[in-house]
A and B are shown apart, each in its own frame.
Chain A
Amino acid sequence: MERDTRPAVVVGAGPAGLCAAIELKRAGAPVLLMDENAKPGGQLFKQIHKFFGSQEHRAGVRGIEIGKDLLRESLDLGIDVRLDTEVVGLDPNLKVWAVEGRRRSYTLDASRVILATGATENAVPFPGWTLPGVMTAGCAQTLINVHRVLPGKRILMVGSGNVGVIVAYQLIQAGAEVAAVIEAAPALGGYGVHTAKVRRAGVPMLVRTTIVRAEGNEGVERAVISEVDGKFKPLAGTERTLDVDTICLAVGLTPSIELASLAGCRTFFVPELGGHMPLHDEFMRSSVPAVYVVGDIAGVEEASTAMEEGRLAGIHAAFSMGYLDSGEMERRTADTRRRLRALRQGVFGAKRFTAKERILAEKEKECP
């Protein structure tokens, strides 16, 4: 097979994109890795906690160190990493339009495009939500762990998924007090070990509870919360006021699919993985065969699954460009797929596994 010498373009240098670029480069394929941020690593450099998983998933290692290792590996391999470079356009013929440093604009023809654009945090509107001091949990995490700025002294966390409880823990570590973690559902969402370590630090966790409004003049001074009924409607007479100066929203993420839509990738609605997302097959190929989707854009999961999906796509793209034979591709992806399966087991993983199976089945049906 003749080798395709046009580069594979990886968009997004988070865990999924870094791993995809590393596998492409390892196979000898030309690759460009683009990221709109000044630093690569995506969310990894905010993750100061030890990761779950098995030893081969780097469990027990803090996310920030996994980020450093991936970065070192990509530099050692000599990957062309283009930072401050925003990919603003992509057409179905794989013409990539990039803007560098908000000054220079250029296009290039890619042989493959791997979209690792991640996800965007959801917000929930309520009276007072535009007051300074209301922010997403990811914003608070960036402030404390990247910029070393404490957003407030007393914090209300809205949402008890892993993001909410992990950021609550890190806010306490950074010196803040967390007044409560509230959850509208009847059960807490995050891993029990995460909620347990926050709870033992004295943080109340309130299920069937929502935020009603934020109050304050120049910024947040109070949060009014209330119990909810089975349909998430506030129950009259259950309102309580908490003295807080910061309200963090950890109410889910939505895949960032703009570029996939521009490229014409067919999407599918999967609520348990964050909403609309591009269909993909077992090698992370979208309905546009030369466009791959990996990490949170292909369904919101975790850094560990994002890294494996990135590897899967990178290996397959290198194969499809003629840099690996089918036996070598099968051998390398077999390990990756085995590790991905291991991450999607148990009470939390099973839901994601089933959702992913649905995406594969729909892809098979819609674009065989």
Chain B
Amino acid sequence: MPMSPDAPDASDRTLKTLGAPSLAELRAAGVVPSREELAAHPCVCVECIEEIPCNPCETSCPQGALTVGQPITNLPVLDRQKCTACGLCIPACPGLAVVIKSLEGDRAKIRFPWEYLPVPAKGDRVEMVDRLGNPVCGGTVVSVINPARNNRTAVVTAEFPAEYVDDVISMRRL
């Protein structure tokens, strides 16, 4: 397979050695939105860069913005023009690999899936973590939703300083 010009170095390919993808790996897969995009509208980030047989993101999307197609091992392709950032794909993904991020001035927001107890509550001060589980900054929980259709995957929205928007993926367990 030809290497794409922005293919990450071996040292940056951490998915199969550290367990989580590096930013370089995700950028090479084209799933990291730019600061401009994040400031313009909330951006779905599908951090699914390995071919596995799975397509609930595609079937969950009412806008037809996520395409896996056939075979179902294709990586999902997102059409940002169609995406309304409704967030239905977040609890639909069995891999918990979908988050929605946005920027507003010096604050960033992330909507992410949550399957641990206790479930945080609105207003909680929390520690945001990166993909390796390292704490990166403080954050505040803005909302928590867990309707029946989520099938016990809560969706948490938290706010934190804008400079950490690329690194933050979740929060530390309470």
Chain A contacts to B: CB under 8 angstroms: 49-55, 57, 59-62, 160, 172-173, 175, 181, 186-188, 191-203, 205, 207, 342-349
A349 x B50 contact (CB < 8 A): no
User: In chain B, what residue has the closest Cβ to A169?
Assistant: B115
A55 x B73 contact (CB < 8 A): no
Interface flags, B62-98, vs A, CB<8A=1, else 0: 0000000011110000000000000000001111110
- Chain B residues lying within 8 Å of A203, measured Cβ to Cβ, are 19, 133
- Chain B residues lying within 8 Å of A346, measured Cβ to Cβ, are 51-53, 71, 73
- Chain A residues lying within 8 Å of B130, measured Cβ to Cβ, are 200
Q: Known: A53-B53, A55-B55, A60-B94. Contact between A188 and B72, CB under 8 A? A: no
Q: 23 A-B residue contacts at CB 8 Å? A: A50-B151, A54-B72, A60-B59, A62-B151, A172-B116, A173-B115, A192-B49, A193-B95, A193-B97, A194-B95, A196-B47, A196-B97, A196-B131, A199-B18, A200-B20, A200-B130, A201-B116, A201-B173, A202-B172, A342-B73, A346-B51, A348-B52, A349-B73
The smallest C-beta distance from B43 to any residue of chain A, in angstroms, reads 19
User: In chain B, what residue has the closest Cβ to A193?
Assistant: B95
Interface flags, B148-174, vs A, CB<8A=1, else 0: 000111000000000000000110110
User: In chain B, what residue has the closest Cβ to A50?
Assistant: B94
B21 x A192 contact (CB < 8 A): yes
- Chain B residues lying within 8 Å of A175, measured Cβ to Cβ, are 117
The smallest C-beta distance from A87 to any residue of chain B, in angstroms, reads 32
A193 x B18 contact (CB < 8 A): no
Does B4 lie at the interface of the complex (its beta carbon under 8 Å from any beta carbon of A)? no
- Chain A residues lying within 8 Å of B131, measured Cβ to Cβ, are 196, 199-200
User: In chain A, what residue has the closest Cβ to B60?
Assistant: A60
B55 x A54 contact (CB < 8 A): yes
B92 x A196 contact (CB < 8 A): no
Does B40 lie at the interface of the complex (its beta carbon under 8 Å from any beta carbon of A)? no
User: In chain A, what residue has the closest Cβ to B56?
Assistant: A60
Cα distance A51–B73 in the bound complex, in angstroms = 14
A345 x B116 contact (CB < 8 A): no
Question: Size range of the interface on B?
Answer: 35 or more
The smallest C-beta distance from A335 to any residue of chain B, in angstroms, reads 15
Cα distance A198–B96 in the bound complex, in angstroms = 10
> Pick the contact of B153 from A50, A53, A160 — CB < 8 Å?
A50
Cα distance A195–B95 in the bound complex, in angstroms = 9
> Pick the contact of A345 from B16, B21, B72, B96 — CB < 8 Å?
B72
The smallest C-beta distance from A17 to any residue of chain B, in angstroms, reads 23
A197 x B95 contact (CB < 8 A): yes
Cα distance A71–B73 in the bound complex, in angstroms = 29
- Chain A residues lying within 8 Å of B17, measured Cβ to Cβ, are 186-188, 205, 207
The smallest C-beta distance from A48 to any residue of chain B, in angstroms, reads 9
Interface flags, B114-158, vs A, CB<8A=1, else 0: 011100000000000111111000000000000000011100000
Does B61 lie at the interface of the complex (its beta carbon under 8 Å from any beta carbon of A)? no
The smallest C-beta distance from B162 to any residue of chain A, in angstroms, reads 20
- Chain A residues lying within 8 Å of B59, measured Cβ to Cβ, are 54-55, 60
B72 x A205 contact (CB < 8 A): no
- Chain B residues lying within 8 Å of A186, measured Cβ to Cβ, are 17
Does B54 lie at the interface of the complex (its beta carbon under 8 Å from any beta carbon of A)? yes
Does B39 lie at the interface of the complex (its beta carbon under 8 Å from any beta carbon of A)? no
B54 x A345 contact (CB < 8 A): no
User: In chain B, what residue has the closest Cβ to A177?
Assistant: B173
User: In chain A, what residue has the closest Cβ to B94?
Assistant: A50
- Chain A residues lying within 8 Å of B56, measured Cβ to Cβ, are 50, 54-55, 59-60
- Chain B residues lying within 8 Å of A49, measured Cβ to Cβ, are 94
Q: Known: A188-B17, A192-B50, A198-B19. Contact between A59 and B55, CB under 8 A? A: yes
B18 x A205 contact (CB < 8 A): yes
Cα distance A318–B110 in the bound complex, in angstroms = 53
User: In chain A, what residue has the closest Cβ to B92?
Assistant: A60
Cα distance A53–B56 in the bound complex, in angstroms = 8
The smallest C-beta distance from B91 to any residue of chain A, in angstroms, reads 9
Does B31 lie at the interface of the complex (its beta carbon under 8 Å from any beta carbon of A)? no
User: In chain B, what residue has the closest Cβ to A172?
Assistant: B116
- Chain A residues lying within 8 Å of B172, measured Cβ to Cβ, are 202
Does B45 lie at the interface of the complex (its beta carbon under 8 Å from any beta carbon of A)? no
